[in-house]
Amino acid sequence: MRILFITSTRLGDAVLSTGILDHMIRRYSGADITVACGPLVEGIFKTIPEVSRVIALKKQKYWGHWFKLAQMTALTRWDIVIDLRNSIYTRLLPARKKYIWGQHDQTRHKVEQCAEVIGANPPPAPHLWFDDVTLEKAERLVPGGGMPVLGIGPAANWPAKTWPAENFIALIQRITMDDGFMPDARIAIFAAPGEEEVAYQVLKAFPDDRQIDVIAKADPLTAAAALKRCQFFIGNDSGLMHCAAAVGTPTLGLFGPSWPYLYAPWGAHCSYVSTPEDFDELTSYKGYTPQTAPCLMASLTVDAAYKGASHLWQQVAHV
């Protein structure tokens, strides 16, 4: 059984698609799987025992990345092709069975939309696979022992989606004070390369002996393994947030100019809070573009975030 699985270049979307890959692995025991994805996310698939090859597709002009994929896959006799990129190439590729992203219910969560592609019900939850090397790296980044660890993701790929650093600091202070729900917790700050400024602003607001620095120090899979070592996670809508949810860490997502009905962290152990304004209200001004817009999260108050976090903690984190 040979399966070709084509998924996203973005971390969050790639993580959300892992549930259906896990479903296929369970359904077709012993299958030989090839994954095609973006370079950023190739590492999250390389540790899967059933995956024999990962093809990293860097986007090129004139669909050059699809020509590369054709060169590497066209001569293989595929039993199943799953294409979450809705490419023309897979429509031309011979296979016994094809599952191609199409006209799904756009009001449903991305996990549900992925499940609809292959007809899986209930939707399989995202899942990540770790090898021993990755787990050892994660343990060095987030050591065991001592007080519980509160993971924080204070950055995002767009400034508009990034809650102000001073709000993160105030929220952490409330959570970790004597009457908070994680008193004296250690604070692990996670961020990708390029996000160091805001991340260190938050980290350095707390005593050295409570700081855990995971800022630009881990690839996505290692960061996910480190998130698994946290007892709670709070972060902006981002791929990191989806990693935290996928590894089972109770996760609170912070939303503003994005869509929680599509991208809220998935699972009963997760929740979200959002600005009073929805996406359209926040972005309706002239000249809005995601990459250049300033922070649009200021109306999400620390009180609202704390209320959401403490409610989630009461539901799942202490069990």
The CATH H-level superfamily of 133-317 is Glycogen Phosphorylase B; (3.40.50.2000)
| Residue 243 CA, distance from chain mean position | 4
For 237-248, how does the pLDDT look when each residue is reduced to its tens digit (9 = 90+)? 999 999 999 999
User: Nearest to residue 111, comparing CAs of 253, 267, 270, 236?
Assistant: 267
Kindly give, in sequence order, each residue whose CB lies less than 8 Å from that of residue 170, ignoring residues fewer than 6 positions away: 302
Token output for 97: 């069975």
Token output for 36: 């095609």
For 156-193, how does the pLDDT look when each residue is reduced to its tens digit (9 = 90+)? 989 999 999 999 999 999 999 999 999 999 999 999 99
* Number of helical H runs and strand E runs in the chain: 13, 11
User: Nearest to residue 16, comparing CAs of 269, 265, 268?
Assistant: 265
Burial of 119 (C-beta count, 10 Å sphere; 0-12/13-18/19+): exposed
Which of the two residues, 319 and 66, has the higher pLDDT score? 66
| Identity of the residue numbered 204 | K
The label of the residue with tokens 């809508």 reads: 237
For 211-231, how does the pLDDT look when each residue is reduced to its tens digit (9 = 90+)? 999 999 999 999 999 999 999
Per-residue pLDDT for 62 more than 80?
Answer: no
Kindly give, in sequence order, each residue whose CB lies less than 8 Å from that of residue 145, ignoring residues fewer than 6 positions away: none
Kindly give, in sequence order, each residue whose CB lies less than 8 Å from that of residue 144, ignoring residues fewer than 6 positions away: 229
* pLDDT reported for residue 153: 98
User: Nearest to residue 186, comparing CAs of 167, 168, 222, 213?
Assistant: 213
Question: For 2-118, which CATH class?
Answer: alpha beta
- CATH 3.40.50.2000 in the chain: give the residue spans: 2-118, 133-317
Q: Are 269 and 252 in contact (CB under 8 A)?
A: no
Per-residue pLDDT for 318 more than 60?
Answer: no
Strand pairing category for 232-236 and 270-274: unpaired
Question: Helices 110-118 and 11-27 sit at what angle, rounded to 10 degrees?
Answer: 40
